[in-house]
Chains A and B, each alone.
Chain A
Amino acid sequence: MNQFPTSATQPAPTVAAAEAVIQLTGIEKVYQTKTIETVALNQVNLSIQRGEFVSVMGPSGCGKSTLLSIMGLLDEPTSGTVAIDGRSVTSYSDRELANLRNHKIGFVFQSYHLINDLSVLDNVELPLLYRSGVSGKERRQRALAALDTVGLSARTRHFPSQLSGGQRQRVAIARALAGRPEIILADEPTGNLDSVMGEEIMDLLLTLNRQQGATIVMVTHDEQQALKTERIIRFFDGSQVN
């Protein structure tokens, strides 16, 4: 339907939109408190292609995480358009957004955000729980498959507190994979890990990108890791600097 979501005042995207999985057009994000107005993102136009591995870099507070939240449909931009698969989500209801997140997007966070009172398996099943028409048996199988992918098949009955940081992050990646999303959004996935474990996680993400064709957007501080990805987007003070 709305294949080319553009507004009259915004310039057309630079990359062919038909290929873009995520298309950000004229994104602005302003945080308003009583006294201060903080601009987190300023006129961001960005297009993520299917199968791409993109890293987002920049100093703390430059708006990287806000960008990721907006891409992940967790936050709404103050102005501008987000399009997933070429469709603008501006008018989407909470339910439709949730549905998109559930089917299309997988999240990986710096602090893992695993639910401590659920076993590894139950944690990985989580995205499938919010998807209708998936039987308990199927959930289990898909979760096990995802855990297999990250090499944690032996730890399904453990609880997050019994795992190391690297293992926890792998569980988080398995959780992101369980719903078989097209896009994985990773917010400093190695930020809490030492370099060896960070390396492991990075390799895992690269493998996912190459072998399974997952589109990955990763926020990182680590230049080395960023260099391994196909494209680096740099941010400074809410604007893209390239």
Chain B
Amino acid sequence: MIRHLITLMWNRKRANGLLIVEIFLAFVVLFSVGSVGVYTWRNYQTPLGFDYQDVWEIDLNPGTQPRAEQFGTLQRILQRLRSTPGIVSVSRSVSNTPFAFSENSTTLDTGEGTPQGYGDVYDADAELPEVMGLRIVAGRWFDRRDDAVSRRPPVVITELMQRALFPDGQSAIGKTVRASLGKPEEFQVIGVSGPYRAGGELSEPRPGFFLYVSPQDTARAMQVLLVRVRPGAGAALEKRITNDVRAINASWEMGVNPLPTQRLAQLKVNLAPPVILGMVCIFLIVNVALGLFGVLWLNISRRRGEIGVRRAMGATAGNISLQVLGEILVLTTFGLGLGLLVAAQFPLLGVMGVQTGVYLTAMLLAAGLLYLLATVCALYPSRLAAGIQPAVALREE
């Protein structure tokens, strides 16, 4: 019977050509949007690795203060903040704080021709794990011991970076890694941390590593602070620290951004494209479904004679019903086949550098959805076809 349907549909491929093209396009749309959706969802499901509640990001702008005096002022500001009730801990950072739409990335390796790990590079001081709730998996975080200038400065890498650099599973602790960040180029791994996805929930999870900012560092991490506050701290604390900073030096400007607010702002921007795509996709698919339904319905009335003959030849109402359903499923398969040829190019050519699994999931989802759609669209027309009175249908022509 299936062979019969395939033969029938194959012979009708010209008449059904437009329908097949439509199903093909619908598949391509579903696949594309599905890929975006699956990619976004997978990223969203991956742990951030830090706790953003009750953390504020503070931007400092020294204004016209001469550069030489700026470090002293920063020291005083840090001191004041740390002694302010309501503030739990303070960490010096650079612009790529969580949810900041700012990233800083480079490649790490362990020598010539060895595995590489490309990912985010963060400047961090000893307080960062306390402020952000960052997990240490192996080894240790930066502390006083690292203040001494050494030939190979310390580095803490994330688990993903450990996996990228040492695929054989050996521990990274104590190993020397290289980065092209200017001098010095060699670093010694002192610890491995959990993930730290400052890019936010929707960013691609990727390796990362931390470079040490000592309390005496006068070059880096001068203008951004991450501050953990006590739960419930609000405008009063914000106003107070703004005034404190101004009291220390009037030319300094500061801005306070709670991370939960930053996160929402970033989500709004990052979710807009997939949500808009999703809505357009839903409209297109509803459109295709209505069209499919309409065409099937019209085809039933066109094929009353054929249905009558089939009934006369011994087909039951159920056979007719199944045939209508089977036909559209065969057509869907034709369209899908074409669509899969296109879709397969994405993982094969490695377009966009997204994991193959994402594409495969999207293909499965799109195919499943289309079959479901075709079935739903065929239900009513198939019942209609089954209900045709053969005696009446045969007499019509």
A/B: CB atoms within 8 Å of each other? yes
A95 touches which of B1, B4, B309, B316 (Cβ 8 Å): B316
B319 is an interface residue with CB less than 8 A from chain A: yes
* Closest chain B residue, CB of each to CB of A69: B391
Q: How far is the CA of A117 from the CA of B7 in the complex (A)?
A: 9
Verify if B313 is at the interface (C-beta below 8 Å from A).
Answer: yes
CB within 8 A of A101: which of B8, B305, B313? B313
A113, B391: Cβ atoms under 8 Å?
no
Contact call A75/B306, Cβ cutoff below 8 A: no
Choose among A99, A111, A115, A117 the residue with the greatest number of B CB atoms under 10 Å from its CB: A117
Most chain A C-beta atoms within 10 Å of own C-beta, residue among B8, B314, B318, B395: B314
Give Cα distance in the complex from A182 to B146, angstroms: 101
Name the interface residues of A91-126: CB closer than 8 Å to any CB of B: 94-95, 98-99, 101-103, 105, 107, 109, 111, 113, 115, 117-119, 122, 126
A113-B394, A117-B11 in contact; A74/B316 too (CB < 8 A)? no
Contact A98 B397 (CB under 8 A): no
Contact for B314 among A111, A117, A130, CB less than 8 A: A130
At the interface, yes or no: A229 with Cβ under 8 Å from chain B?
no
Are B309 and A98 interface neighbours, CB within 8 A?
A: no
B12 is an interface residue with CB less than 8 A from chain A: yes
Q: How far is the CA of A38 from the CA of B311 in the complex (A)?
A: 25
Interface membership of A175, Cβ < 8 A: yes
Tell me the bound Cα distance from A107 to B395 in angstroms.
13
B310 partner residues in chain A, CB cutoff 8 A = 126, 130
B314 touches A175 (CB 8 A): no
B47, chain A: closest CB distance, angstroms: 56
Q: Check: B265 CB closer than 8 A to any chain A CB.
A: no
- In the complex, what residues of A have CB within 8 A of residue B316's CB? 94-95, 98, 130
Q: Which 7 A-B pairs have the closest CB atoms?
A: A102-B314, A75-B391, A69-B391, A98-B316, A117-B11, A130-B314, A127-B313
Which residues in A have their C-beta under 8 angstroms from that of B3?
A: 136
- Whether A74 and B312, one on each chain, are in contact in the complex, defined by CB atoms closer than 8 angstroms, is yes
**Please, which residue of chain A has its CB at the minimum distance from the CB of B15?**
A117
**Alpha-carbon gap, A240 to B397, bound state (A):** 26
Question: Distance (Å) between the CB of A161 and the closest chain B CB?
Answer: 11
Residue of A nearest to B316 (CB): A98
A206 close to chain B: CB less than 8 A: no
- Contact check, B8 vs A175: say whether CB atoms are below 8 A apart: no
Contact between chains at B4 and A74 (CB < 8 Å):
no
Residue numbers of B with Cβ under 8 A of A are 1, 3-4, 7-8, 11-12, 15, 305-306, 308-319, 389-391, 394-395, 397
Chain A residues whose CB sits within 8 angstroms of the CB of B306 once the complex forms = 113, 115
Closest residue of chain B to A98 (Cβ to Cβ) is: B316
Given contacts A74-B390, A109-B394, 7 further A-B contacts (CB under 8 A): A74-B311, A74-B394, A94-B316, A115-B8, A117-B8, A122-B8, A126-B310
| Interface core residue of B3, B8, B313 (most chain A CB under 10 Å) | B313
Contact with B along A120-156 (1 / 0, CB 8 A): 0010001101110000100000000000000000000
- Nearest residue (CB) in B for A31 is B392
Q: Chain B contacts of A90 at CB under 8 A?
A: none
Q: Does A238 contact B (CB under 8 A)?
A: no
The answer to whether the Cβ of A189 comes within 8 Å of any Cβ in the partner chain is no
Min C-beta distance of B155 to chain A, whole Å:
69
**What is the CA–CA distance of A94 and B314 in the complex, to the nearest angstrom?**
10
Q: Quote the shortest CB–CB distance from A103 to chain B (angstroms).
A: 7
Specify which chain B residues have a CB less than 8 angstroms from the CB of A131 in the assembled complex: 314
Tell yes or no: A72 within 8 A of B by CB.
Answer: yes
**Cβ of A65 under 8 Å from chain B:** yes
Contact B390 A179 (CB under 8 A): no
Contacts of A66 in B (CB 8 A): 391
In the complex the two chains form, is B395's CB within 8 Å of A175's CB? no
List the B side residues contacting A102 at CB < 8 Å.
313-314
| CB-nearest residue of chain A to B12 | A117
The CA of A127 and the CA of B394, in the complex, are separated in Å by 16
Q: A74-B390, A115-B306 are in contact. Are A130 and B8 (CB under 8 A)?
A: no
Instruction: From B4, B305, B317, give the contact of A129 (CB < 8 A).
Output: B4
> A122 CB to closest chain B CB, in angstroms?
6
Distance between A143 CB and nearest chain B CB, rounded to angstroms: 12
A98 touches B319 (CB 8 A): yes
In the complex, the answer to whether A107 meets B391 with C-beta atoms within 8 Å is: no
Complex contacts, A159 vs chain B, CB 8 Å: 11
A98 to B314, CA, bound (A): 4
6 chain-A/chain-B pairs, Cβ below 8 angstroms = A72-B312, A115-B8, A117-B8, A118-B7, A131-B314, A179-B314
- Which residues from chain B contact A65 at a C-beta distance below 8 Å? 395
CB proximity of A19 to chain B, nearest CB, Å: 25
Q: Do B12 and A130 touch (CB < 8 A)? A: no
Whole-angstrom distance between the alpha carbons of A177 and B318 in the complex? 24
Which B residue's beta carbon lies closest to that of A68?
B391
In the complex, A41→B394 CA distance in Å? 18
CB distance from B284 to the nearest CB of A (A): 30
In the complex the two chains form, what is the Cα distance from A102 to B313 in whole Å?
Answer: 5
Across the two chains, which residue of chain A brings its CB closest to B313? A127
Q: Given known contacts A75-B391, A113-B305, A129-B1, is B8 in contact with A107 (CB within 8 Å)?
A: no
Residues of B within 8 A of A119 (CB): 11
* Contact status B397-A113, CB under 8 Å: yes
CB distance from A175 to the nearest CB of B (A): 7
Across the interface, do A99 and B314 meet the contact criterion of CB distance under 8 Å? yes
A179 proximity list for chain B (CB < 8 A)? 313-314
Produce 1/0 per residue, A34-70, CB < 8 A to B. 0000000000000000000000000000000110010
A172 nearest in chain B by CB position: B309
Question: Which one of B3, B319, B390 has the highest number of Cβ atoms from chain A below 10 Å of its Cβ?
Answer: B390
